[in-house]
Amino acid sequence: MTDPLADGYYAATAHPAPQRPALAGDISCDVLIIGGGFTGVSAALACAEKGFDVVLLEAKTIGFGASGRNGGQLIPGLRWSMQEIEAAFGPDRAQAIFDLAYGARERVWGRIAQHNIACDLKAGHLEAAIKPSHFSALRAEADWLAQHYGHKAETVPPEAMDCHIRSAAYHGGIYDPKGGHFHPLNYVRGLACAAEAAGPQLFEQSRVLRLARASGVTAQLARGTVKARLALLATDSWIGDLDRDLGRHTIPIMNYNIATAPLPNADALLPSDAAIADSRFVLNYFRLSADHRLIFGGGEKYVERPPRDIAAFVRRHMAGVFPELADVPIDYVWGGAVAVSRNRLPQLGRKGPLFYAHGFSGHGALVTTLAGELVAEAMAGTAERFDVMAGLPSAAFPGGRWLRRPLATLGLLWYALRDRL
Ligand SMILES: Cc1cc2nc3c(=O)[nH]c(=O)nc-3n(C[C@H](O)[C@H](O)[C@H](O)COP(=O)(O)OP(=O)(O)OC[C@H]3O[C@@H](n4cnc5c(N)ncnc54)[C@H](O)[C@@H]3O)c2cc1C
């Protein structure tokens, strides 16, 4: 990989991947998928299962984007609570959104079992409250989920947090046994092998430079073209490179992770081995790896340039949660861009033959697999479930090409400041 931010713990510990060719020449297919992350690879597999002839083009290597670099946290649902969703869309639409957003978990677990993907999958996710008022809000949401949707998440009062995390930083939380964590690069690589076995041709080092829509979609690459009846843009943070209009609906926010050296006391820090994310707007999230490291993500950067010392930047947040780890050796450092939509809801839709799915806003590890499958369903002519997600509201960030990012940054800084106050 050429991006130093991609060379972290996952790249160093992933199962070897087959080398795939770069596209050279002119070919045609039923369905073209652009982007080899969770969304694109899942769509390629699901489209092949529906009998389509599929080509996937990835600019670098499978899992090079956010899918191969994330915190590995499998967090059920979307960024909005079900109470917010119900207030905004009414009970019927909320039920349909719940079925998909919470059902997404079964698709990831299902794919891992079906294709025997070795990716250190573990069950259990805890959302930890940074203030008592956040705990009350989390408890209210857990009650709502149980009463209205039959979804059982366990309220963990402050005095019982020790079962999950040994830290004085939190005031209770919600433990969801349906959440979990995994090695994301191994998942996407395993899914890609499953897709290939089902028929799709996967090309790497094959960046699409331009797209034309006329009787289907034609993708122009440096050394070839692909002509397809239907296509999916699954490029998430890079969507604006190929469709400037869609690019106005997300901004990329840089997020960084570290992995400590293996910890002799790992089980004592996180006794239930759950993944943990806290209730900050700019959240801290962490979990144990299969080899007993703490994988920790925290802090965000609104400019693309990384902090001069990423380890120190993230370590500060880790030491806030676990002061005893303030001086522990850090073996790996990495980061990537999270595509954030203005309302933090994913953006699925279509423009004629061109489908898109992006803007998962830091909640993509579960929903992307489903998103790819919904696109395949819609391409095959059954769009009911796709339409539920495509019907979520979407708004462009204001400010035009040059002001969009600074304005969005100001808004995000305001929320981050509220956490501190
Ligand atoms: C540091 C970090 C931590 C995160 N932590 C979590 C977490 O713990 N839990 C969670 O749920 N979510 C998390 N996320 C978000 C999650 O990883 C994403 O929502 C998800 O991976 C998006 O998947 P994707 O397939 O849509 O996009 P990506 O994985 O980004 O894939 C897009 C692909 O498109 C390719 N591409 C781009 N342009 C072109 C082009 N022109 N031609 C061909 N290919 C192209 C890219 O190379 C890339 O491989 C995190 C993200 C980051 C960056």
Ligand 1 center–CA 157 separation, angstroms: 34
Query: 309: Cβ–Cβ under 8 A, 6 or more apart, which residues?
Result: none
Q: Closest residue (by CA) to atom 25 of ligand 1?
A: 37
Do 121 and 182 contact (CB within 8 A), yes or no? yes
Shortest-distance atom of ligand 1 to CA 367: 11
Q: Give percent of the chain above pLDDT 70.
A: 94
Q: What is the DSSP letter of 326?
A: T
What domains can be seen in the chain, in order of their start residue?
4-70+186-249+344-398 (3.50.50.60)
pLDDT of residue 176: 98
* CA gap 359, 368 in Å, rounded: 10
* CA gap 286, 256 in Å, rounded: 12
pLDDT of residue 305: 78
* Sequence-ordered strand ranges (E) for 182-238: 201-203, 210-213, 217-221, 224-233
* C-beta of 237 in contact with ligand 1 (< 6 A): yes
Q: Cα–Cα distances in Å, from 68 out to 5, 246, 336?
A: 11, 23, 9
DSSP structure string for 331-385 = EEEEEEEEEEETTS--EEEEETTEEEEE--TT-HHHHHHHHHHHHHHHHTT--HH
pLDDT of residue 97: 98
Ligand 1 center–CA 35 separation, angstroms: 9
Q: Residue 195 corresponds to which amino acid? A: A
* C-beta of 356 in contact with ligand 1 (< 6 A): no
Left, alpha or beta for 399 (phi > 0: left; psi -120 to 50: alpha)? Answer: left
* C-beta of 69 in contact with ligand 1 (< 6 A): yes
pLDDT of residue 334: 96
Q: What is the DSSP letter of 198?
A: H
pLDDT confidence bin for 4, thresholds 50/70/90: confident
Closest CA to 275 of 154, 106, 124, 142: 124
Mean pLDDT of 370-381: 98
Look up residue 61 and give its two tokens: 């290597």
pLDDT of residue 415: 65
Look up residue 129 and give its two tokens: 């409250």
- Residue 55, pLDDT > 80, answer yes
* C-beta of 283 in contact with ligand 1 (< 6 A): no
Ligand 1 center–CA 21 separation, angstroms: 21
Closest CA to 77 of 110, 100, 43: 100
Shortest-distance atom of ligand 1 to CA 360: 19
Do 60 and 7 contact (CB within 8 A), yes or no? no
- Residue 273, pLDDT > 80, answer yes
pLDDT of residue 306: 83
pLDDT tens for each residue of 114-165: 999 999 999 999 999 999 999 999 999 999 999 999 999 999 999 999 999 9
Shortest-distance atom of ligand 1 to CA 68: 29
pLDDT of residue 414: 66
* Sequence-ordered strand ranges (E) for 234-363: 250-260, 275-278, 285-288, 294-301, 330-341, 347-351, 354-358
pLDDT tens for each residue of 183-230: 999 999 999 999 999 999 999 999 999 999 988 999 999 999 999 999
- Residue 234, pLDDT > 70, answer yes
Q: Cα–Cα distances in Å, from 8 out to 12, 50, 183, 248, 366?
A: 6, 36, 12, 30, 21
pLDDT of residue 1: 41
Mean pLDDT of 367-395: 97
- Residue 421, pLDDT > 70, answer no
Predicted model pTM: 0.96
- Residue 411, pLDDT > 70, answer no
Mean pLDDT of 231-252: 94
Higher per-residue confidence, 8 vs 6 = 8
pLDDT confidence bin for 399, thresholds 50/70/90: confident
* C-beta of 257 in contact with ligand 1 (< 6 A): yes
* CA gap 48, 384 in Å, rounded: 20
Mean pLDDT of 83-103: 98
pLDDT of residue 307: 86
* CA gap 370, 368 in Å, rounded: 5
- Residue 405, pLDDT > 80, answer no
Q: Give percent of the chain above pLDDT 90.
A: 87
